[in-house]
Amino acid sequence: MTKVIYCLLVVSFFVTCRPESENPYQIRVHAKFTDLEGSPVSEAASGGPLLITSADFTNINPKGISPDIAKLYFNEMEVPFQQAGPNSIMTKVPIMLLTYYTRITVSIRYLRYAIIITEFIIYRPTVSADVLAGNDGTFQMPAEMTIDGSGNLYVIDQRTDHDVVIKVTPGGASLVFAGGKNEFGRLVGIGLDAATSKMYVSDATAQQVKWFNITTPSTVSILAGSGTAGNDDGTGTAASFRFGSEGVNNFSSNERGQGLTLDASGNIYVGEKYGTTDAYLSQIRKITPGGEVTTVPSSRISMPMDGDDVHPVSGLTILQPSNEVVYIGGSSSNYQGIARISTAGTMTRIAGQVSNENLVDGTGEAAEFAFPKAISYFNAYYHVADGSNGAYRRVTTTGEVITIAGVGHFDTPSFCFCGITGPSSASYLFPSIFDGDPNKFKLAARAIIMDQVGGIAVRSNRLVYLSDYGTNFKCIWRIRIE
């Protein structure tokens, strides 16, 4: 009899507290979020203790809410908790695997009912960085890189005699994967077709695009390129390329006419120099899987003396699903930033401006880069290796730039002369969403000190890798956002 009366009271509470139009098994209640000392909490990070108090908890169960009778959820993630009193429960904010500020709805599942707390908290992600591989003599000059579906990295290591591709497993094990028998000269671009397991590289010494299957990396073939510098369209060896041969550590003109990427159909895109009359002329070429080479319309880039035009290509990516080519480049006193070429052949700047060695967050032309080297698009974000700024920059498709890691050109170990002798792990909490300082991300990101970054590979928007060719670094960074 007691159980029947209690169940009727619970049902009566749910019916009384919900509008007629709502789901009969869903009820909204008010609650307070505080820390263990009772101070209000409006935003929280993983690991932070959280006390949730509501006078309605005893209406649900006179003895309060306990793990024995209910489950607690942050959005759709079940979270362990313990009862702290008749009207309160205590938990820790879980790792939510989110990459930006996110509103968290807290709910309790009890019997067949979903009890949703009207108030909410804002989740603040944590950024952490550590060295996955290197800083031990493995790399001489780590440059551009790519990633496969299992999370293995393939890194161009630019060496004095000939370049190689080094494979780095998700656990950090490294080995020379391709090029150990002098198959390559100066490599300036790399990309993987996951559907065919073919790895493509731009070889500036041979002026050819080469490929090998990642199951048989010792067998290297020529996809296109006559072996003589030129800009001729054609198929296979009837075509010619003029790849820039600057090393990733070039600090006068940056990499010019470099970079390689693939689209979803397996077409390869490469940056190259154009002609011989001006070292700053460049363009982008498209190569089909069969080796047919054409020039991407409106991709030809000139560099007038005022430096206001987009800089020659250093790195490339493809914006999906529109299949537009996006490239990055720049050097001091010239335009440094990102541009997009539409499928209709129109070039548009996304972010950046004519600048010197500056690191400035902002949207569009308000943002500044310093010798940006590489770019990769993944699920609504461009991820940028911002060269001499030693920084990882994240850019929305509308051009909003924030710094996720790095200190800026003049504070990098290569230029600050401040006694930093190598990499070290570090982490920080996203700045408060209520902080109105436009430099808040830039300031927070300084917790992670990288040196000179040359390549970037994206496993997901919360797991990104960068190569660092700084003198005492020469490593692969692993950046997590969660």
The answer, as to whether pTM is greater than 0.85, is yes
State the residue for tokens 């890798």.
465
Section 5-34 average pLDDT: 62
The two tokens of residue 276 are: 């011989």
* pLDDT tens profile 437-449: 999 999 999 999 9
Residue 32 pairs in a beta bridge with 53
Q: What is the pLDDT of residues 198-213, one digit of tens each?
A: 999 999 999 999 999 9
247 neighbors 186 (Cβ within 8 angstroms): yes
For residue 410, count CB atoms less than 10 angstroms from its CB and return exposed for 0-12, middle for 13-18, buried for 19 or more: middle
pLDDT band at 21 (very low <50, low <70, confident <90, very high): very low
Which of 221 and 303 is assigned the larger pLDDT? 221
Higher pLDDT, 328 or 5: 328
- pLDDT tens digits for range 239-255: 999 999 999 999 888 89
Are 441 and 428 in contact, with CB atoms under 8 Å apart?
Answer: no
> Distance of alpha carbon 126 from its chain centroid, rounded?
14
C-alpha distances out from residue 433 to 42, 101, 126, 209, Å: 10, 7, 13, 46
Please give the residue that has the higher pLDDT: either 268 or 309.
Answer: 268
What's the rounded Cα separation, in Å, for the pair 370 and 105?
Answer: 40
How far, in Å, CA of 125 to CA of 429, rounded? 6
pLDDT digits (tens, 9 = 90+) for 361-414: 999 999 999 999 999 999 999 999 999 999 999 999 999 999 999 999 999 999
Average pLDDT score, the chain: 92
The strands making up 475-481's β-sheet, listed across from edge to edge, are 426-429, 126-134, 475-481, 463-468, 453-460
Per-residue pLDDT tens over the stretch 273-332: 999 888 788 999 999 999 999 999 988 876 554 455 667 899 999 999 999 999 999 888
- pLDDT for the residue numbered 24: 74
Q: What is the pLDDT of residues 132-168, one digit of tens each?
A: 999 999 999 999 999 999 999 999 999 999 999 999 9
Tens-digit pLDDT profile for residues 426-435? 999 999 999 9
| Tokens read off for 26 | 């869903």
- Contacting residues for 323 by C-beta, under 8 A, at least 6 apart: 263, 264, 343
Kind and range of the H or E element at 414?
helix 413-416
Q: What is the pLDDT of residues 79-96, one digit of tens each?
A: 999 999 999 999 999 999
Q: Which residue do the tokens 């393939």 mark?
A: 154
Q: Is the peptide bond before 86 cis (omega within 30 degrees of 0)?
A: no
